[in-house]
């Protein structure tokens, strides 16, 4: 009977160790976040703003989050941009709204993202007016938008290269696929 108890205990310890070792992995997940509908002054629209979402986790803790959304020239969400923001976006072949969050700027600093965007040919610009409207959206609190840096990214010329982001300790993640 003693051997069975010892064997059972060894199996439980091995199972616990193997489960805990899986939790120490860094992983990158992707998905989307949909912001439904919007308002501006007396205008109300039924349209979705779809963000592609890429999230870097350590164990079960979100370390970094990047969300990108193209806004088409026909989109009603253009009401949220100031004239100068729209002008900047209009000069780009590829323009997107970006939302970025980091849990700890010592672990994954925003500057690491900004450097990789620049190397890929993107420039970053402020979206002050857009951010004001985004933060007043009814779902802003649900999505925690106050925790995010909100800015635009712009690539003046279209190339076929994908935008890949690589943070130390994580696998490289393609956040904007190559254009065909």
| pTM, two decimal places | 0.85
Predicted local confidence at residue 19, as pLDDT: 46
Predicted local confidence at residue 17, as pLDDT: 47
Predicted local confidence at residue 178, as pLDDT: 84
Predicted local confidence at residue 157, as pLDDT: 86
Q: Domain tally for the chain?
A: 1
Q: pLDDT tens, position by position, for the chain (180 residues)?
A: 566 566 555 566 655 544 444 545 899 999 999 999 999 999 999 999 999 999 999 999 999 999 999 999 999 999 999 999 999 999 999 999 999 999 999 999 999 999 999 999 999 999 999 999 999 999 999 999 999 999 999 999 878 788 999 999 999 999 999 876
Q: Among 122, 116, 100, 95, which residue's Cα sits nearest to residue 173?
A: 116
Question: Residue 111: beta bridge partners?
Answer: none
Does 47 map to a domain? yes
Does 60 map to a domain? yes
Does 41 map to a domain? yes
Does 81 map to a domain? yes
Does 127 map to a domain? yes
Angle (deg, nearest 10), helices 128-136 and 83-90 = 110
CB-based contact 35:135 (threshold 8 Å):
no
CA distance 66 to 167: 12
Domain boundaries, position 168 = 26-176
Predicted local confidence at residue 171, as pLDDT: 93
Q: For residue 23, give every residue at least 6 positions away whose Cβ sits within 8 Å of its Cβ, in sequence order, or none.
A: 59, 60
94's tokens: 């590829």
């Amino acid at each position: 009977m003693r051997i069975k108890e010892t064997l059972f205990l060894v199996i439980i310890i091995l199972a616990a160790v193997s489960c805990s070792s899986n939790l120490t992995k860094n992983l990158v997940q992707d998905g989307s976040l949909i912001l439904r509908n919007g308002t501006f002054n007396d205008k109300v629209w039924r349209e979705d703003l779809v963000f592609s979402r890429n999230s870097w986790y350590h164990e079960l803790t979100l370390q970094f989050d990047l969300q990108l959304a193209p806004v088409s020239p026909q989109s009603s969400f253009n009401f949220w941009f100031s004239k100068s923001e729209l002008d900047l976006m209009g000069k780009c072949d590829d323009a997107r709204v970006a939302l970025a969050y980091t849990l700890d700027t010592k672990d994954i600093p925003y500057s690491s993202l900004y450097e990789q965007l620049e190397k890929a040919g993107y420039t970053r610009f402020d979206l002050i007016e857009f951010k004001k409207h985004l933060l007043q959206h009814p779902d802003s609190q649900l999505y925690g938008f106050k925790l995010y840096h909100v800015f635009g990214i712009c690539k003046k010329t279209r190339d076929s290269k994908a935008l890949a982001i690589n943070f130390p300790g994580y696998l490289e993640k393609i956040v904007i696929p190559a254009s065909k």
